[in-house]
Amino acid sequence: MRALLLPIKDLKEAKQRLAGVLTPEERFGLVQAMLVDTLRAIRNVTRAEKIFVTTSDELAVRMAHENGWEILREEHQISESDSVDSASRICESRGVSGLLRLPLDIPLVQARDIDELLAIECEAPALVIVPSCHGTGTNAMLRMPPTLFPSHFGAGSFAKHVLEAENAGAQVIIRNNPRLEIDVDDEADLRMLLEQDIGDTETGRWLRESGVESRFRPNIRARSRFAAKA
């Protein structure tokens, strides 16, 4: 059985690396919007036999409950790696043979992107991994079995996860996907997102209505003009 795992931290404490450019209220609004986009895509996934949400956030619990997804409630959150690994052990004990971890901050993701990963034919032990746009982070990770190796989310996680899989004797399958590869952790990521076609996303709507987009747009246009002259 292949399943999805969505780890969601306390939304009010998320995206601290954006503190220099967004207020706490704006960070909370941005995270909520990205969560809506991610969950909208997940609702249309057809190849996941179960969907798990591990969180201590009440809003995330409510959204998961409304969608009929299984909630793995956390009392305390130590780190994303700890949350994912704890949830992975539970999922494996419940018969999950392959678990795809997805972050909440990939607002361009579409259901077909997720289904394509779940449809990849491989036998355990195996790792299917999607790097971040910079090639250093891990934006999606399917482990077979779910506890194949410990998680190392954070700086340089892509190389660490690939090395762990190789040391475990697992097949490693790397997939690049421009929609999955764009997440939003810092100011550079936010600027990159604003250069994409986000008109139909909840994140795009929030960025426009909150005024965040207009604050960043002049800088984006100036950079584009400079690049064109070069």
Q: What is the pLDDT of residues 107-152, one digit of tens each?
A: 999 999 999 999 999 999 999 999 999 899 999 999 999 999 999 9
CA of 138: how far to CAs of 46, 83, 159, 161, in Å? 23, 15, 9, 8
> What residues contact 113, with CB distance under 8 A and at least 6 apart?
41, 177, 179, 180
Backbone angles phi, psi at 145, to 5 degrees: -75, 170
Q: What are phi and psi of 207, to 5 degrees?
A: -60, -40
Tell me: the pLDDT tens digits for 17-75?
899 999 999 999 999 999 999 999 999 999 999 999 999 988 889 989 999 999 999 98
174 phi and psi angles, rounded to 5 deg: -100, 130
pTM confidence score: 0.90
Cβ atoms of 175 and 100 closer than 8 Å: no
* Domains, in order of start, for the chain: 2-182 (3.90.550.10)
CA gap 19, 30 in Å, rounded: 12
Q: How do beta strands 126-131 and 138-144 pair?
A: antiparallel
